[in-house]
Structure formats: C-alpha cells, structure tokens
Structure 1
C-alpha cells in the first residue's frame, strides 16, 4: 500500500506514486471511464508502461496502437505520447529518473 496521495490528473483520471528513488519511480494511473484521456505530452524521462487492466489506445510519436491487460512498452525520453481509455482500467508506469514533479 502506498503512502502517497491519490491525485487527479484530469476528468476521470488519477495517479498515485507507488514507490520512488532518485533513479526510478513507479506510478499507478487509474482511468475510471471510457473516453478519459492522458493528454499528449513529452518529458525527459524514459517511461515503461504496463497495462494492469482495461483497454487503451496509445499514441507514441506517429504510431497509434491499442493495448490491453498484460501489454507493456517503453516510451523513449522526449517522445510525444498519450492515450484514450477504451475500457476503464489501470496503467502502471515506471520512470527513470524519478519524476520529481509528481512528488
């Protein structure tokens, strides 16, 4: 169980830091409704994403693909990416280095 707060990141989307170290951070993102979005963005961190539950349409640069439970992928540093929730669920993201802006 995480001692970090659950933070709203948009309509029907929350995040919670699960663990962190200066070199690595693990964060859970919960999407509560179909159509909820993770807006297109980029950051200097390398990100890995694991789909714990639900279905999502991810845009990674010029590529769009649908992912579901058990899928995972890596987002290179500074690559634009975002998603639309197709079925409510949770994503577990790892970031290196840690996302200090999430603390």
Structure 2
C-alpha cells in the first residue's frame, strides 16, 4: 500500500491564481487531519472513494464527484478502501495557507 502526492503546484510559481494538489493512495483510512483554509477548496475525485467531514456534516465522495469546501470551513477526509483514491484538490489561492486544527 502506498500514498503519494503526485504533484503540488503553487499558482504563484506558474502565474496562476489557484494552487493544486494531485493525490493518489491505496491506504484505507488515510487523509489529512482536520484543517481549514481562508479560501475555498474544490475536490475533483477521479477514482475511488473518501468520507469527507465538512463543518458539522459528513458525506461520501466517489469517482466523478466534485465537492466544494467553503472558506474557513473545518474539513478532513479519509480514504475508503480497498480502491485507489485519486483526486485533484484545487485551492483558490496562489499559494497554500493551512491552519491545522487537530
């Protein structure tokens, strides 16, 4: 089982107003701990599934889903195996700003 961040790109390095994370993992339960950003984050799920906590709600996201987390909303996700989770996380900022809450 492996987890890999395929690519982190800060927009300011390429003249863009958004930053991205490309992630791929087959580790059941993996994902970031609770955090928030001062901007929206959009998750585009390409393959697999994950359980997202966004504020006080939970929802499952799967291949083809797009989830938008509002600015300042505490959020986290955990991969639901055994499938590989692959997604693009789009941060509406030219650089990453993360406040870890746990």
TM-score (norm 1): 0.75
Find the aligned partners of 2:41 and 2:96 in 1 and give their Cα distance. 14
SS at match of 2:49: strand
Task: Report whether the alignment pairs 1:29 with 2:23.
Answer: yes
CA spacing shift, 1:46–1:69, aligned 2, 3 Å: same
Per-residue deviation, 1:32 = 2.5
Structure 2 unaligned residues grouped into runs of 5+: none
Structure 1 unaligned residues grouped into runs of 5+: 1-11
Task: Report whether the alignment pairs 1:14 with 2:4.
Answer: yes
**Root mean square deviation, CA, Å:** 2.1
Task: Report whether the alignment pairs 1:59 with 2:58.
Answer: no
Per-residue deviation, 1:89 = 1.2
TM-score (norm 2): 0.76
